[in-house]
């Protein structure tokens, strides 16, 4: 079984600041670091490190070739990434404050230049039962989701960043949702302070054939489908940078499930991997190996 992550590739410019810049304020950063990033790239690397046979599809400009190197070194097959010679790779301007929290400004670049022809060419190499992992950082998602659904692929969606494009997607084609509380409430058009489990149940009522994985920050995560509900607590660590924590969780959860692990084990390992990622700076560079995850869990036993 193959996994196709059709998603973003970004160059991350991370500025360390005392606090997030405010309207009208000019703020000096204490450092600038350049990392590989993009939710798609991060999730591909996490999937590969978790042991999945993962292929990445997307687009970069000439300035983003080092992103391919980083993915290949992690075990990701990049043959389906297009290099657009006259365009600029997507990038992110990230402010990271002294508590390790971040705010992010995205420039789509080549991530917004995915064509229907590229989608058809890539999907021709995948079959029924293969997984398609998606986020909301590339264009032409409705066409991509429909074509994958027609082929019988398993569609997993992380609807981030949440914006007006998400409600217009064919969400009934999604087999696995991975989302946080804010995204869940926006999909359901709710503004109330619904309890976690009730929120997950409401999503399941809206998408009864799907598996819903709800990430809850410091409260851990929750997985629900027609067969029941499972919760997993968060591991406490000293936070350095939260940038790729959610992507790490996604990659290790799906990678664990595809390797035959039960949901309880896969969620526990994904939570540990996300905690480790929070304790390190950067996006993709913060993603741990399976050995590091197991060592972390032994320490927390």
Tens digits of pLDDT across the chain (301 residues): 899 999 999 999 999 999 999 999 999 999 999 989 999 999 999 999 999 999 999 999 999 999 999 999 999 999 999 999 999 999 989 998 988 888 889 899 999 999 999 999 999 999 999 999 999 999 999 999 999 999 999 999 999 999 999 999 999 999 999 999 999 999 998 887 778 899 999 999 999 999 999 999 889 999 999 999 999 999 999 988 887 899 999 999 999 999 999 999 999 999 999 999 999 987 788 999 999 999 999 999 8
Show the domains of the chain with their CATH numbers.
Answer: 3-7+39-59+115-300 (3.40.1190.20)
- Cα–Cα nearest to 221, from 143, 273, 259, 258: 273
pLDDT for res 270: 97
Report the alpha-carbon distance of residue 63 to residue 49 in Å, rounded.
Answer: 25
pLDDT for res 42: 95
pTM: 0.92
pLDDT for res 240: 85
CA dihedral (54, 136, 212, 240) positive or negative: positive
pLDDT for res 52: 95
Report the alpha-carbon distance of residue 155 to residue 230 in Å, rounded.
Answer: 21
**Cα→Cα distances 67→10, 12, 51, 106, 241, Å:** 8, 11, 20, 17, 20
Report the alpha-carbon distance of residue 118 to residue 106 in Å, rounded.
Answer: 23
């Amino acid at each position: 079984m193959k996994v196709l992550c059709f998603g973003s590739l970004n160059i991350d410019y991370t500025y360390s600041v005392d606090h997030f810049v405010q309207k009208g304020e000019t703020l000096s950063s204490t450092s600038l670091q350049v990392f590989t990033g993009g939710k798609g790239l991060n999730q591909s690397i996490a999937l590969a490190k978790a042991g999945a046979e993962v292929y990445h599809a997307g687009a970069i400009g000439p300035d983003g070739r080092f992103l391919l190197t980083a993915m290949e070194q992690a075990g990701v097959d990049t043959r389906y990434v297009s290099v657009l010679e006259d365009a600029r790779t997507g990038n992110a301007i990230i402010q990271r404050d002294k508590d390790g929290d971040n705010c992010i400004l995205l420039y789509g670049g080549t991530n917004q230049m995915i064509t229907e022809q590229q989608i058809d060419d890539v999907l021709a190499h995948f079959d029924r039962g293969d997984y398609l992992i998606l986020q909301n950082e590339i264009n032409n998602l409705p066409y991509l989701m429909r074509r994958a659904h027609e082929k019988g692929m398993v569609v997993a969606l992380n609807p981030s960043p949440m914006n007006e494009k998400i409600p217009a997607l064919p969400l009934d084609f999604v087999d696995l949702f991975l989302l946080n509380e804010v995204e869940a409430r926006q999909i359901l058009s709710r503004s109330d302070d619904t309890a976690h489990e009730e929120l997950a149940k409401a999503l399941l009522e809206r998408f009864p054939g799907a598996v819903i994985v709800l990430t809850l920050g410091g409260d851990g995560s929750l997985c629900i489908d027609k067969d029941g509900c499972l919760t997993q607590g968060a591991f406490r660590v000293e936070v350095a940078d939260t940038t790729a924590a959610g992507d790490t969780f996604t990659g290790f959860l799906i990678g664990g499930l595809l390797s035959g692990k039960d949901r309880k084990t896969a969620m526990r390992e994904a939570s540990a991997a996300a905690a480790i990622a929070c304790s390190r700076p950067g996006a993709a560079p913060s993603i741990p190996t399976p050995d590091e995850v197991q060592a972390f869990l032994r320490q927390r036993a």
